[in-house]
Amino acid sequence: MRNGFCLLPLALACAGAPLSAIDAEPAQLLKLRPVPFTQVRIRDSFWAARQETNRVAAIAINLAMLEKAGNIHNFELAAAGATNGYSGPVFMDSDLYKGLESVAYSLAIHPDADLERRLDAIISKIAAAQQSDGYLDTYYIVKEPGKRWTNLRDCHELYCAGHLFEAAVAHYQATGKRAFLEVAVKLADHIDSVFGPGKRLGYPGHPEIELALIKLWRATAEPRYFNLARFFIENRGRHYFAEEHHTPLDRYDGSYWQDDVPMVEHQKIKGHAVRAAYLMSGATDVAAETRDGALLAMLDRVWRNTTERNLYLTGGIGPSAQNEGFTTDYDLPNLTAYQETCASVALAQWNHRLALLYGDARYADVFERSLYNGALAGMSLDGTRFFYVNPLASAGRHHRQEWFGCACCPPNICRTIASLGGYAYAFSDDGFWVNLYIQGSASARLQGQEFNLDVATDYPWDGKVLLRPRLERPAKLGLRLRVPGWCHGASVSINRRRIANPRVERGYLVLERAWDNGDSVELDLPMPVQRIAANPNVKADLGQVALQRGPLVYCVEGCDQSEPLSSLYLPPAGQWRAEKEETLLGGIVAIKGAVEIAPQPSPDGGLYQALAPPRRVDIIAVPYCVWDNGQPGPMQVWLPAAPARGP
């Protein structure tokens, strides 16, 4: 139940509660179009600053690290016909592609001739490495020539190709240049010549290419790319990896690769988390076109299982380091939470696709949760260090690293931040949808004219949003504003007149009228500090609560407290206030309050001991996304709701 306008502050199911519309009848496939990142401007203090840091620090560091680690040199080797000297793991190419994708998005936001020249130079090297038949994977070209497509399960050729497609499409959209896109097309054509009906069976050990082929299809209008994506989706689960590796079927558990059953038969999220979320993203893209009821039903089922039983409060997935993925429902440990940065990004991408498909705010709720918390934590405030693993509690030994031997995460969060504008808005023929509240503007071609929307807000620090459409002439359309699932008591005014009972559809306020220049919409999303409890089935969080304000999940860091974290708790009657801290962690709204730390009876004391009054201890909580921006130290998202019992 979404409670945007519920006046009673009843316990709210923030995520994953059933939506009766979908239960009752097949949901309508709205297939909204996203407003592309090129049509969105971000001019706020939160994301604009991060995009700038991303550009000047993180992306530059990514390129330098990729250079240093040999990711680019691998292409030079391949172009030169070398058969040794390859550096790094089998999926090195993909990290470079994600890095380049980040650069492309960044160029669209902030033109930079030097950076663009550098990008073009790398693209030339990539093009030079491409084989005459279109094949391109430096690992196989340099290190294992002649062994192409022999180990789809483990060797990431299709995964790397997918990231090339994504980077190439981004580059084309950002710059209008076709050089990279042509490499992508040649590679896609090559792959299409190998796999497909009447050709080879096969699909990627690490899904990703499916969603990338859809992007390439949309950029080129070449239906073979869609069909190939559909082929990969619809054939998955035929135990290809067992055959490939001569594994007897009775000893084959394909669940790690989501290859245990055909796609339509999945009952729950399983296996490697990033694989699972990319796969569901591609499946969503395919189902949006095929309108395959069984595939859509599977997606709904698995999405519910994910968000109702396998999602961290911070919007990440995959609790276990052992398989970088899922274990059993409700297994969400905090200290050992894996919650890979890439998995948060992948889950956000899947939910973005579902949000466009159904126009239902609950998907954007999950997107927002993943983005502002699990994903954003992946990068330090100064853009120089990265988390691969994102625990929800630390004893003080977890700290962002400069780079990783397996460097999938840094460029993944870089490209997400750089392309963020593309996730914020969507439109249909008669409506304009606002999913994320970010100061700036967006525009889309609607009803034969340019529809512009200017947005002023201090979100996520404040829930007041002022929206002003700009049009060439008045146009009747529905402006749809997401009421976040965390929000109670949202209110809206048009031209300063409060709308008494605004229409709410699938979590969106629907403001339908003939909009004209000069109109203004004031949306107010109250942001009290919320005490959040987990479903009691989550044993790791039993008796514990977390603080959330707006979309941000908070945590307590040892460095901010006067007492050890082990003595802190978050009582029901606590008074928590949000306070702007301009100088702390780059400027945040901190949550402050005090708890009473009570003396405990001592085993060395008498049989009965009068307890002295509790000591008042201040607590400062900071957004989870900015934790660990100093010396390594202890951190907890969840704290007990009550003081610890005696010794």
Contact partners, residue 150, CB within 8 Å, separation at least 6: 244
User: CB–CB of 43/439 below 8 Å?
Assistant: yes
Q: How far is the CB of 351 from a copy of itself (least distance, A)?
A: 15
Q: How far is the CB of 546 from a copy of itself (least distance, A)?
A: 8
User: CB–CB of 361/482 below 8 Å?
Assistant: yes
Q: Which uninterrupted H or E stretch holds 512? A: strand 508-515
- Cα–Cα distance between 347 and 276 in angstroms, integer? 9
- Cα–Cα distance between 288 and 296 in angstroms, integer? 8
CA dihedral 409, 412, 418, 420 (to 10 degrees): -110
Q: Is the peptide bond before 333 cis (omega within 30 degrees of 0)?
A: no
Q: How far is the CB of 426 from a copy of itself (least distance, A)?
A: 25
What amino acid occupies position 499? I
Q: How far is the CB of 275 from a copy of itself (least distance, A)?
A: 22
Which C-beta is closer to a copy of itself: that of 544 or that of 561?
A: 544
Q: What angle do CA 457, 462, 467 make, to 5 degrees?
A: 25
Catalytic: 324?
A: yes
Which C-beta is closer to a copy of itself: that of 15 or that of 27?
A: 15
Region for residue 304 given its phi and psi (left: phi exceeds 0; alpha: psi -120 to 50; beta: otherwise): alpha
Q: How far is the CB of 605 from a copy of itself (least distance, A)?
A: 5
* Alpha helix positions (H), 142-292: 157-175, 179-194, 209-220, 223-235, 240-244, 273-290
- Cα–Cα distance between 385 and 402 in angstroms, integer? 5
Backbone angles phi, psi at 590, to 5 degrees: -90, 155
- Cα–Cα distance between 361 and 233 in angstroms, integer? 26
Which C-beta is closer to a copy of itself: that of 249 or that of 611?
A: 611
Q: How far is the CB of 479 from a copy of itself (least distance, A)?
A: 27
Q: How far is the CB of 558 from a copy of itself (least distance, A)?
A: 23
User: CB–CB of 489/7 below 8 Å?
Assistant: yes
Residue 647: both structure tokens together: 């010794």
- Cα–Cα distance between 252 and 295 in angstroms, integer? 24
- Cα–Cα distance between 108 and 127 in angstroms, integer? 22
Name 511's bridge partners.
479
Closest CA to 376 of 316, 327, 328, 423: 316
Euclidean distance between the first and the last CA atom of the chain, given in angstroms as a whole number? 41
User: CB–CB of 187/136 below 8 Å?
Assistant: yes
Closest CA to 193 of 119, 277, 134: 134
Which C-beta is closer to a copy of itself: that of 36 or that of 528?
A: 528
User: CB–CB of 516/479 below 8 Å?
Assistant: no
Which C-beta is closer to a copy of itself: that of 54 or that of 306?
A: 306
Please state whether beta strands 475-482 and 431-434 pair in parallel, antiparallel, or not at all (unpaired): parallel
- Cα–Cα distance between 181 and 215 in angstroms, integer? 11
Question: What is residue 56's DSSP assignment?
Answer: I
Cα dihedral sign, 327-330-335-338: positive
What's the Cα-to-Cα distance from 119 to each of 20, 104, 243, 479, 631, rounded to whole Å? 48, 8, 40, 38, 35
Catalytic position from the list 408, 414, 487, 625: 408
Catalytic: 409?
A: no
Which C-beta is closer to a copy of itself: that of 239 or that of 592?
A: 592
Catalytic position from the list 157, 324, 368, 522: 324
Which C-beta is closer to a copy of itself: that of 452 or that of 530?
A: 530
Which C-beta is closer to a copy of itself: that of 329 or that of 458?
A: 329
- Cα–Cα distance between 10 and 8 in angstroms, integer? 5
Q: Which residues bind a copy of itself (CB under 8 A)?
A: 9-17, 307-309, 311, 313, 486, 530-538, 542-543, 545, 548, 571-573, 596-603, 605-614, 641-643, 645-647
Which C-beta is closer to a copy of itself: that of 80 or that of 644?
A: 644
Q: How far is the CB of 16 from a copy of itself (least distance, A)?
A: 5
User: CB–CB of 310/326 below 8 Å?
Assistant: yes
Catalytically active residues are: 324, 408
